[in-house]
Amino acid sequence: MKIHSSLLRKSRYFLPAAIFLALCLLIQCKKSEQPADVPAFDAEKAKEHIISGRQANAFTTELRTSLARLEANNARLANKTLYLTPSVLFSRETLAGLLRQPGVTGVRIYAGRLNNGKTTLLAVATNNRGQDIPSLIVSPEKTLDITEASALVHSFRTSIESVNPLNLPRSELFNRDAIAVLLNKKQAASVRIYWGSENGAACMILVPVNAAGNDIHTRLLARDGEEGGDDPGDEKEPGDDDEAIERGHRCPHSCDVGGPIDDGNP
């Protein structure tokens, strides 16, 4: 009986420790299931590309209006060789992989054309001279080799005459901080890239997207005196209190012409 009582007394000390250890192991396992962290960002550099939700909404509306006008004049896609896809989705991990490469200072997003005539987008990291780093080229669906990527980009360039009034860019260049701020947002599982139009020039608009596939209407950067951005989820409508990424450097003129993807041919 004395031995049994002694064991009971000792168990009162060991049992809480065992429970605590089990909880720690459970938490650690859950952490390992999360996607790898993306690089940190410089808020001041990210600001270069930030616009309000209302601006983003106005740009997508302008593009739809331009398309409708071309359609009414029988000018849109007259030869049926190009169909402008309104938006595409890149996973968080796909874009994070670009930022993890050594020497990355930006991400260039190219427009491409698939065999069925629909447009797509592909992304590649760039160095501090604005040159593509072709070791990793991604589309929304898969990783591409240089031959595939170059063919998509060339096909787009040779087909845009049918929608020339939209003033579509060949590509847009964003600094790495603008991409990182999207990937670091709470609940962000992917990034959606919309086509919009500002003052008659087509542009790319980037927003974070949650696991359900809904745009996250949120402030991307904290205001002065705040610890973090607003993360209300996807319940709000676009407004001045939420933000998106735009202001990409267009090609022309910010291009890597003659590089591995854009051969420079018309």
> Are 61 and 109 in the same domain?
yes
pLDDT value at position 256?
87
Instruction: Check if the beta carbon of residue 110 is closer than 8 Å to that of residue 169.
Output: no
How many distinct structural domains can be found in the chain? 2
Instruction: Check if the beta carbon of residue 246 is closer than 8 Å to that of residue 204.
Output: yes
Q: At what angle do helices 92-99 and 176-183 cross, to 10 degrees?
A: 140
Question: pTM score, two decimals?
Answer: 0.80
Q: Is residue 231 situated within a structural domain? A: yes
pLDDT value at position 58?
96
230, with CB counted inside 10 A (0-12, 13-18, 19+), is middle
| pLDDT one digit per residue (tens) for the chain, 266 residues | 444 555 445 445 555 555 544 444 444 443 333 345 777 899 999 999 999 999 999 999 999 998 888 776 654 444 467 788 999 999 999 999 999 999 999 999 999 999 988 999 999 999 999 999 999 999 999 999 999 999 999 999 888 866 667 899 999 999 999 999 999 998 999 999 999 999 999 999 999 999 999 999 999 997 654 444 544 444 455 555 799 999 999 998 888 877 899 876 65
> Are 24 and 94 in the same domain?
no
Phi, psi of 215, deg, nearest 5: -60, 140
What's the full length of the chain, in residues? 266
> Are 138 and 227 in the same domain?
yes
Cis peptide before 266 (omega within 30 of 0): no
Alpha-carbon span 158 to 10, nearest angstrom: 79
For 241, what's the count of Cα atoms within 13 Å in the CB-facing half-sphere?
6
Alpha-carbon span 134 to 14, nearest angstrom: 56
pLDDT value at position 26?
45
> Are 11 and 99 in the same domain?
no
> Are 6 and 78 in the same domain?
no
Q: Is residue 265 situated within a structural domain? A: no
Instruction: Check if the beta carbon of residue 56 is closer than 8 Å to that of residue 196.
Output: yes
pLDDT value at position 150?
96
pLDDT value at position 225?
43
> Are 195 and 228 in the same domain?
yes
Domain that holds residue 199: 43-251
> Are 108 and 182 in the same domain?
yes
Q: Is residue 264 situated within a structural domain? A: no
**Using CA atoms in the order 69, 74, 76, 77, what is the torsion angle rounded to 10 degrees?**
170
Q: Is residue 260 situated within a structural domain? A: no
> Are 99 and 155 in the same domain?
yes
Q: Which two tokens stand for residue 100?
A: 């993890």
> Are 53 and 26 in the same domain?
no
